[in-house]
A and B are shown apart, each in its own frame.
Chain A
Amino acid sequence: MGFFINRRSSINKKNSWDVLISQRLAVWLMGLEIAALLTGSFFMEQNKEVAGAMNGAFPLYLWLTRGPLALTWWLWAAVCLLAFLTVNTLCCSVESIKRKKGGLLTLLAPQIIHAGFLLILVAHLMSSLGAAKIMGQLPQGAEARLPGFDIFLSKVEAGPQPTAQVELLSGEKNVLKRGVLSPNHPVFFRGYGIYLEELSMDPYPAAYLEVSREPGAIWAFFGAILFTAGTILLVLLKSGQG
């Protein structure tokens, strides 16, 4: 009897593993993820105010947990499907490495792509939990308190390429860093990015600044590099197959 139970349990384990590594599951999960995002795009369009808060001052996690389920369910569904897809991707990669089918590069290319994809997902998770954004107008010659340091706006210059000179100060008013902000050229300090959004000279010179923290950014970048490297390798391998 014990033999039959053990045998049945090992068959069940094998079946579960086969499901977890299957491409069929990957295809279904991707299809359902597409459906969730597609629904989300129309929800966002119909509920612009609620959707606008997704890019607001607080991490996405807060939007997701505090928003009404009637408006956030599609993102919950997308996140759950991505969690299943992560498990499927990991299991599929482990199985491919175990089987060692084909040459080394043929084996490696999809795993590098998978690793890149997973890193990008980790990055999104980190940003969803820990991103923060503060926005506001700062007149020339004024300073504002930020988490851990102060920012002083020393000079603004309008023109085709507007600039704002800033000094980052310690609590004792020592200058920690000086920088010049312009569009696409932020200043980074202690995990924060300081961005120039707009300048105004009337009624007084002032800069509209944004200070943001995006903890997943560097991981997303590394993930993207891995993903691209794997895909380039795959393209080269496929083009060499005649």
Chain B
Amino acid sequence: MTPNLMWLAWASVPLYLTGLYKRFFLFAGCLAQAAYLVARGMRLGRVPLVGPHDTLILLAASLAGFSFLFHAAQERGKRSFRILIGAMAALFTLFAMLARPFEGVLPPVLSTYWFELHVGLSFFSYAFFGIGAVLGVIYLGQREAALEKSQYRFILSGYLLFSIAMIAGGVWAYLAWGSYWLWTPKELWTSILWLYYSLYLHLRLRPSWHGKNTAYAGVIGFVLVLFTYLGVGLLMKSSHTF
């Protein structure tokens, strides 16, 4: 029997907060959460991707983990970046710890790789969009062109992952319910999010919109991500309430 390593998830909160001062601790927090998710997955015998507890931990760990792509590539804006990423990861982890972990047996319809791919890639893409938003905020303060370019790259990569996540969701829905598309508010909001980032990518093709406008657009995008993830689930009925 694999032990319940909940303390690892708790430990990641102070690690992320210490990461505001030293990058190493941000990395340590990410590792602690990864270890927690692996241990939890081994204990449950499945990938832990059900409910706000699992998905918020995954989002926090992905934010911290993928942020190292920026750390490795850029010189400017690193301190503000580390502070904002650390604060966001700590906040998401705290919210995750408030939610009760889902320990039950999964309904048979959720026992498929398509579900795991759909949820996993969705949260990886949310993390990329979140990093894009953080870079947008820093750009608005520092006006370094390289930051806005990095924001664009993170958002473009997030867009790719999000598109694949939607496709995986469509294949799964087709195999499970006979339709690759269901008309529910959650699906509509997913389309809104996808259209919004398509709009962002088109806006950025216009030279007059480069800089401040696209930076703001990237920040607003993450607000939409959070509403699609948390707001729609809380306020509207959909097929995504497991």
Contact = CB atoms under 8 A, between A and B. Distances in A.
Q: Do A and B bind each other?
A: yes
Interface of A: 23-24, 26-27, 30-31, 33-34, 37-38, 40-42, 44-45, 48, 51, 54-55, 60, 124, 127, 131, 133, 160-162, 182-186, 193, 195, 210-212, 214, 216-217, 220-221, 224, 227-228, 231-232, 234-235, 238-239
B238 to A, nearest CB: 9
A138 to B, nearest CB: 16
Nearest to A224: B167
Given A37-B191, A45-B236, A235 B160 contact: yes
Contacts of A133: 178-179
A127 B105 contact: no
Given A34-B192, A37-B191, A184-B111, A217 B206 contact: no
A224 B195 CA distance: 15
Interface in B149-196: 152-153, 156-157, 159-160, 163-164, 167, 170-172, 174-185, 188-189, 191-192, 195-196
Contacts of B206: 23-24, 27
Given A34-B195, A48-B237, A217-B174, A184 B181 contact: no
The main secondary structure of chain B at its interface with chain A is: helix
Contacts of A45: 185, 235-237
A200 to B, nearest CB: 15
B229 to A, nearest CB: 14
Contact of B160 (A31, A160, A161, A232): A232
Contact of B159 (A40, A186, A231): A231
B156 A224 contact: no
A224 B182 CA distance: 17
A184 B236 contact: no
Nearest to B232: A41
B183 A228 contact: no
B199 A31 contact: yes
Given A30-B195, A133-B178, A55 B183 contact: yes
A44 B188 contact: yes
